[in-house]
C-alpha cells in the first residue's frame, strides 16, 4: 500500500545487542536474554522509544518512519524473545515486569533522562505499565489500538472475533481437534511450546495468520504475509499465548487503577473505529481515566498501525508533541 505520509526509509545510525542477565533477572540455569536495539534519526534530538506489539511481534524497518529523523532520536528494540533478540521465542524469565526493567536498563545504557513513548496494541499496554512504574522518565505517550490486558479483551480475541471474521476464526479453531476447542488458548500453548518444530511452527503460523487477517479494515495480503514470516510468527504466537495464559503479567487491579500516577503526563490516543483486534471500548475508557489524553478516532480504519488513516493520525500526534 502507498505509504507516502510516512517519513522516508532510513537506516539506523547505531545498533547493538545488550545482555540482560546482568540486570538481576537471571537465575542459575536460566536463559541468557540478549536485547537487540537500534537508534535512528538525530543523535542530539528529542528521545522517543518505539514499543512493538504482540507481545512477541518484534519491530521492523517501517516503524522508523513514523518520526521526523531531523528532530527525533528514535530508539527501537525487540522485546525479550522477539524479533532480533535472543533466544527467539524464549518464555522463561519473560514477563511484563521483566520488560519494564529492560526498558530502564536500555534507558540507562543509552544515557537518556526522559523519553516520549510510542506504542500500539501490546505496545500500548507495555507503555502504560512502564509509565506507571517510572512516570518521572516519561515525557508523554502516543498510543494506538489500546489493549489493557483484561480478561474480556483476551476472550474477545480467542472467541469473540468469530462474530466478525467467522472464516478466519474457523481456520484458527480448526488447527486443533474439536475436543480441545473449548480451551483454544491451552490447546495452542501446548503446541506452541512443543519441542518439535513441525508442531510449534504449524501452530505459530495458524495463530499469526488469524491475527493478520483480522488486523485491517479491508483485506491486506501484505499484512497477512508479514505476520506469516517464520520469525514473526513464532515470537508472536508463542509469547502472546504465554502472556495471555498469565493475565499479561499485570497487577490484579489492572492498568486503569494506576492512571493517577500519570495525571501530569500528556498523551495522544489513536484508535481505529473498526479495530477488531483491540475494539475501541478500551481506548475510550483509557481516555476517560486520563484527563491529559487526547483521543483521535479514525473513522475508516481497523487495527494495524499501517492503515492509511491510522498512520497519518500517528504522525500528526507525534508532531504535536514536537511542538509542545
Q: How high is the pLDDT of residue 112?
A: 98
Query: Across the chain, where does the E strand assignment appear?
Result: 14-19, 34-41, 46-51, 72-77, 115-120, 138-144, 267-272, 293-298
- Answer yes or no: is pLDDT of 324 > 90: no
Residue 229 pLDDT grade (very low, low, confident, very high; cuts 50, 70, 90): confident
Residues with a known catalytic role: 121, 275, 303
Q: What angle do CA 25, 229, 126 make, to 5 degrees?
A: 35
Residue 25 pLDDT grade (very low, low, confident, very high; cuts 50, 70, 90): very low
Quickly tell me which residue has 508533541 as its cell.
321
Q: Distance between CA atoms of 291 and 264, rounded to whole angstroms? A: 9
Q: What is the pLDDT of residues 52-62, one digit of tens each?
A: 999 999 999 99
In 10 A of CB 15, how many CB atoms? Answer: 13
CATH topology for the 14-150+249-323 domain: Rossmann fold (3.40.50)
With pLDDT > 90 as the criterion, what percentage of the chain qualifies? 90
Residue 31's closest CA among 85, 74, 71, 96?
85
Lowest mean pLDDT among 19-28, 91-100, 202-211: 19-28
Q: Distance between CA atoms of 37 and 13, rounded to whole angstroms? A: 11
In the numeric block, which cell numbers belong to residue 97? 515486569
Q: How high is the pLDDT of residue 262?
A: 98
Q: How high is the pLDDT of residue 243?
A: 98
- Answer yes or no: is pLDDT of 23 > 90: no
The H-or-E segment that residue 172 falls in is: helix 166-173
- Answer yes or no: is pLDDT of 277 > 70: yes
Lowest mean pLDDT among 24-28, 29-33, 242-246, 305-309: 24-28
User: Order of strands across the sheet with 72-77?
Assistant: 14-19, 34-41, 72-77, 46-51, 115-120, 138-144, 267-272, 293-298
Residue 7's closest CA among 41, 45, 36?
41
- Answer yes or no: is pLDDT of 195 > 50: yes
- CATH 3.40.50.1820 residue ranges of the chain are 14-150+249-323
In the numeric block, which cell numbers belong to residue 167? 472464516
Please, is 201 exposed, middle or buried when counting C-beta atoms within 10 Å of its C-beta (0-12, 13-18, 19+)?
Answer: middle
- Which residues, including other chains, have CB under 8 Å from residue 108's CB and lie 6 or more apart? none
Q: Distance between CA atoms of 247 and 7, rounded to whole angstroms? A: 36
With pLDDT > 70 as the criterion, what percentage of the chain qualifies? 96
- Which residues, including other chains, have CB under 8 Å from residue 172's CB and lie 6 or more apart? 184, 206, 207, 209, 210
Q: How high is the pLDDT of residue 252?
A: 94
In 10 A of CB 305, how many CB atoms? Answer: 24
Residue 2 pLDDT grade (very low, low, confident, very high; cuts 50, 70, 90): very low
- Answer yes or no: is pLDDT of 80 > 80: yes
Residue 226 pLDDT grade (very low, low, confident, very high; cuts 50, 70, 90): confident
Beta bridge partners of 268: 142, 294
- Answer yes or no: is pLDDT of 181 > 70: yes
Q: How high is the pLDDT of residue 16?
A: 98
In the numeric block, which cell numbers belong to residue 168? 478466519
Q: Distance between CA atoms of 92 and 242, rounded to whole angstroms? A: 10
* Chain mean pLDDT for the chain: 95
Q: Distance between CA atoms of 41 and 277, rounded to whole angstroms? A: 31
Please, is 198 exposed, middle or buried when counting C-beta atoms within 10 Å of its C-beta (0-12, 13-18, 19+)?
Answer: exposed
Amino acid at each position: 500500500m502507498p505509504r507516502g505520509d510516512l517519513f522516508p526509509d532510513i537506516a539506523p545510525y547505531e545498533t547493538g545487542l545488550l545482555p540482560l542477565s546482568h540486570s538481576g533477572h537471571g537465575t542459575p540455569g536460566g536463559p541468557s536474554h540478549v536485547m537487540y536495539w537500534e537508534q535512528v534519526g538525530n543523535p542530539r534530538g528529542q528521545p522517543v522509544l518505539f514499543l512493538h506489539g504482540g507481545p512477541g511481534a518484534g519491530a521492523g524497518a517501517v516503524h522508523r518512519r513514523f518520526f521526523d529523523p531531523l528532530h527525533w532520536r528514535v530508539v527501537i528494540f525487540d522485546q525479550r524473545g522477539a524479533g532480533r533478540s535472543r533466544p527467539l521465542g524464549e518464555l522463561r524469565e519473560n514477563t511484563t515486569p521483566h520488560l519494564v526493567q529492560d526498558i530502564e536498563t536500555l534507558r540507562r545504557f543509552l544515557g537518556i533522562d526522559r523519553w516520549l513513548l510510542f506504542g500500539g496494541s501490546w505496545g500500548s499496554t507495555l507503555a502504560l505499565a512502564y509509565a506507571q512504574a517510572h512516570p518521572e522518565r516519561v515525557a508523554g505517550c502516543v498510543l494506538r489500538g489500546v489493549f489493557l490486558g483484561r480478561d474480556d479483551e483476551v476472550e474477545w480475541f480467542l472467541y469473540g472475533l468469530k462474530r466478525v471474521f467467522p472464516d478466519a476464526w474457523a481456520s484458527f479453531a480448526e488447527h486443533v481437534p474439536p475436543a480441545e476447542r473449548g480451551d483454544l488458548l491451552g490447546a495452542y500453548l501446548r503446541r506452541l511450546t512443543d519441542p518439535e518444530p513441525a508442531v510449534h511452527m504449524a501452530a505459530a503460523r495458524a495463530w499469526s495468520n488469524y491475527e493478520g487477517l483480522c488486523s485491517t479494515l479491508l483485506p491486506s495480503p501484505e499484512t497477512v504475509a508479514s505476520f506469516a514470516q517464520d520469525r514473526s510468527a513464532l515470537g508472536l504466537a508463542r509469547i502472546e499465548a504465554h502472556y495471555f495464559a498469565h493475565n499479561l503479567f499485570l497487577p490484579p487491579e489492572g492498568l486503569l487503577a494506576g492512571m493517577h500516577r500519570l495525571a501530569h503526563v500528556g498523551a495522544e490516543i489513536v484508535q481505529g473505529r473498526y479495530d477488531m483486534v483491540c475494539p475501541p471500548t478500551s481506548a475510550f475508557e483509557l481516555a476517560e481515566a486520563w484527563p491529559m489524553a487526547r483521543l483521535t478516532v479514525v473513522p475508516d480504519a481497523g487495527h494495524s498501525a499501517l492503515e492509511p488513516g491510522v498512520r497519518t493520525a500517528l504522525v500528526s500526534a507525534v508532531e504535536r508533541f514536537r511542538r509542545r
